[in-house]
């Protein structure tokens, strides 16, 4: 299959709301044809706009990665994120942005995944080569509202792009079923922008993989 056909199939899937399936199709195509620049650009666009589910994505391979296991102690999130980012070269620190982004993923796992149950664990795998890659897994039921959040972000982005100010203001923060007063989904908005491959979840949606390439 040439890249044009692969892109056409992906666009058809997206038009019917099958975002995850479209991204998986493009990802598998790139495994076969890694120099397909147009396909890579389209996939990058999807990953920068949506939280994606792809249980079989190769980025979930933990071979050779270092494993950390932490208790779900909300008061230790900053400490955990410092452990997970120490030793990173300055080019990957981005000031303190890397630490902040790692902290947000760990916080989501502890607060929303494990519901702050200190008896539940957060497992984190770290790869540091010519990139930094984290896989974060909690013991919770998974991000049940992932597709709902994606739809919210799609409407939010459309309102901002079309300069519909009132609609955009009404969509500044996301409120889900279990959201608290200070929850607004902003960490996910920022995460999709910061991480080079977006944020990819397993089928259960209790494990996420992110990475950042060396500048």
Give the pLDDT confidence score for residue 179 in this predicted structure: 63
CB 111 within 8 A of CB 105: no
DSSP state of 50: S
List the chain pLDDT tens, one digit each, 215 residues.
799 999 999 999 999 999 999 999 999 999 999 999 999 999 999 999 999 999 999 999 999 999 999 999 999 999 999 999 998 988 888 888 999 999 999 999 999 999 999 999 999 999 999 999 999 999 999 999 999 999 998 898 888 888 898 888 888 788 776 666 565 567 898 999 999 999 999 999 999 999 999 88
Give the pLDDT confidence score for residue 162 in this predicted structure: 87
**CA 207, CA 194: separation in Å to the nearest integer?**
18
H/E element holding 165?
A: helix 165-170
pTM: 0.92
**CA 7, CA 13: separation in Å to the nearest integer?**
10
- DSSP-based three-state secondary structure for 23: helix
Pick the CATH number of 58-143+184-213 from 3.40.50.300, 3.30.565.10, 3.10.20.30, 2.60.15.10: 3.30.565.10
Burial state string for 156-178 with b = 16 or more CB within 10 A and e = fewer than 16? beebeeeeeeeebeebeebeeee
H/E element holding 192?
A: helix 186-194
Q: What stretch(es) of the chain map to CATH 3.30.565.10?
A: 58-143+184-213
Nearest residue to 138 (alpha-carbon basis) of 189, 66, 205: 205
**CA 171, CA 160: separation in Å to the nearest integer?**
9
Give the pLDDT confidence score for residue 166 in this predicted structure: 87
DSSP state of 74: G
């Amino acid at each position: 299959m040439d890249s044009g056909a692969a892109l056409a199939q992906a666009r058809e899937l997206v038009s019917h709301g099958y975002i995850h399936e479209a991204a998986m199709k493009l990802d598998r195509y790139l495994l076969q044809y890694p120099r397909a620049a147009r396909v890579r650009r389209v996939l990058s666009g999807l990953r920068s706009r949506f939280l994606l589910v792809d249980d079989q994505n190769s980025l979930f391979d933990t071979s050779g990665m270092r494993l950390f296991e932490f208790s779900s102690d909300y008061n230790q999130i900053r400490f955990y994120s410092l452990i997970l980012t120490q030793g990173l070269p300055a080019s990957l620190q981005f000031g303190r942005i890397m630490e902040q982004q790692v902290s947000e993923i760990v916080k989501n796992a502890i607060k929303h995944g494990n519901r702050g149950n200190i008896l539940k664990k957060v497992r984190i795998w770290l790869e540091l080569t010519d990139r930094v890659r984290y896989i974060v897994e909690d013991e919770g039921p998974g991000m049940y509202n992932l597709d709902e959040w994606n739809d919210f972000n799609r409407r939010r982005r459309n309102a901002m792009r079309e300069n519909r100010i009132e609609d955009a203001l009404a969509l500044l923060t996301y409120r889900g079923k279990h959201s608290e007063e200070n929850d607004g989904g902003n960490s996910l908005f920022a995460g999709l922008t910061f991480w080079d491959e977006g944020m990819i979840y397993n089928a259960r949606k209790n494990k996420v993989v992110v990475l950042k390439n060396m500048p």
